[in-house]
Amino acid sequence: MAIAAAISVPLTTPSRRSLSSFSNTFRSYSSCFPLQTKTHKLISNSIRNPSFSIISASSMSVEAPEKASAASFLDRKESGFLHFVKYHGLGNDFILVDNRDSMEPRITPEQAVKLCDRNFGIGADGVIFAMPGINGTDYTMRIFNSDGSEPEMCGNGVRCFARYIAELDNLHGKQSFTVHTGAGLIVPEIQEDGKVRVDMGEPILKASDVPTKLPANKADSVVKSKLDVDGVTWNVTCVSMGNPHCITFGVEENQNLQIDELKLAEIGPKFENHAMFPARTNTEFVQVFSPSQLKMRVWERGAGATLACGTGACAVLVAAVLEGRAGG
């Protein structure tokens, strides 16, 4: 059973059909999910949508945990099934669940961990819930990371969320709506071509608000400060885009970081869980090619190595300007 099929826009929605019909329709896609596993199977249909090319409805049957009510995990409308779709923004992928009838997530953080497992689950960087709006907003977005933690917000996640809402509500043309997140109000805008534009807001630089315990060295901010990680001194700048980011362009004695040579799986967790970051941190390792060309690799708090990070890209640009590496 195929998990996702790309369409010709930056955010992609899935198409899931039976294994036999899928092989005839999307021959170029090879990422498949077993039709039957020990704990769950996929059953699905796809529905054509003239504005967004493909919109899909998918179901996953799941064994309910002991001592848990069925409503906490199983779809309330069809007992035994969790309906979901899967989107990605530049490879940063999410399972999206229509939760608009309740402020209680359909699944628990522990169950999200299982669903995000790329070998035994669906596979994703996180699970996003579309919920009723609060405080006058149209919708609420909540996210469980692949480790079960809950971030304040996610840039690519917001873009995927916006496209999902547009398809759920059958919106056409240029549209915008308000979304309540853990980082505050976000107003995504669906463009005429189907792309999503999101104003990420102003960066937060005050050290205590990022938050980081590193001492401020430029007004109230941490800019090109020294951070010791396993005996190696890195120069870092700390920025919050509603969630914390630590950006580094290299170690103290070598500021020309070659990020393709970086052992991200080894160094990433050491930054994420460093004592200087009380709420943990996302970390961006950046290589500068020119003042207008930067390349980054990201280790996301709660998700590990991901292919892209929207808030991270914003934080990198802010840090590059603050350090005099970009702009100007």
Q: Tell me the catalytic residues.
A: 154, 309
Report d(CA 200, CA 185) in Å as an integer. 10
Report d(CA 283, CA 271) in Å as an integer. 7
- The token duo for 69 is 């009510």
Report d(CA 306, CA 94) in Å as an integer. 11
Report d(CA 142, CA 164) in Å as an integer. 14
Using alpha carbons only, what angle is made at residue 94 by residues 93 and 99, rounded to the nearest 5 degrees? 165
Report d(CA 4, CA 248) in Å as an integer. 33
Strand partners, 56: 46
Report d(CA 69, CA 319) in Å as an integer. 46
H/E segment holding residue 130 = strand 126-132
Report d(CA 178, CA 162) in Å as an integer. 10
Q: How many CB atoms lie within 10 A of CB 170?
A: 10
Q: How many CB atoms lie within 10 A of CB 299?
A: 25
Q: What is the DSSP string of 11-40?
A: EE------HHHHHHH-TT---B--SB-SS-
**Helix orientation angle between 310-322 and 155-168, rounded to the nearest 10 degrees:** 140
